[in-house]
Amino acid sequence: MIDPFDLNEPRTRIKICGITTAEMAFVAVDAGADAIGLMLAEQSPRCISWEQAEAIAELLDDDCPPVAVFCDHPIERVERWPGPVVQLHGDEDPEYVIELHRRRPELLITKGFMFSIEAVQKWDRCEALHAMLVDGSAGGHGEAFNHNELGVLMPQLETPVILAGGLNSENVAEAIARVRPFAVDVSSGVESERGVKDADKIRSFCQAVEDTDDVLREEA
């Protein structure tokens, strides 16, 4: 499997989250997505069953890994996910992450949380964590936050940052330019209605990210 957190390739990775069908998963892959988010959090309108998530995951190639998204689930359930990556998006603490890593050392763990300087610094110190997903809300609500504040922190951070919250094809270029994240994550920004993905919006978002990277390389 290609390491989804390989920092050697200088480009912005793309995660399309809240995929609910195989059809939209294939659209995202064809558009250039680097990861597919599968919601297993029951409170999300994009939640699918464990069986549905496994079925979609099995269709994906190794270079676009499925990311199972959990929210305050028992650690015994999370560690059973057969895929290579999980995202925790609840009130899990660093001790939870450390224990999950102890049980499944090969599992790549990302942690999603609402932006604050204190939260970013706390999770950056968690050595068991592979990436931080910095959001503007509890997740999936399309709420942005002050990207300038995160941008100032970026040179100090050692953990890869995935930028989320209110992103779409119209504003992702500015967000990338301000933060220079390892990756961007989008869900509601590529939907025609809440919980329903839109193929054209997925393609437009991925193209906008690629175009932004091209511009930034030319300016460097």
3-state helix, strand, coil in the chain (%, to 5): 40, 20, 45
Instruction: Choose the catalytic residue: 126, 135, 185, 206.
Output: 135
Decide if 17 is catalytic.
Answer: yes
Helix (H) or strand (E) holding 210: helix 199-219
| Residue carrying the six token digits 């590529």 | 190
Instruction: Choose the catalytic residue: 17, 47, 64, 71.
Output: 17
Q: Of the candidates 189, 184, 214, 213, which has an alpha carbon nearest to the alpha carbon of residue 201?
A: 189
Decide if 63 is catalytic.
Answer: no
Structure tokens at 189: 């920004």
Angle between helices 199-219 and 172-179 (to 10 degrees): 40
Active site residues: 17, 135
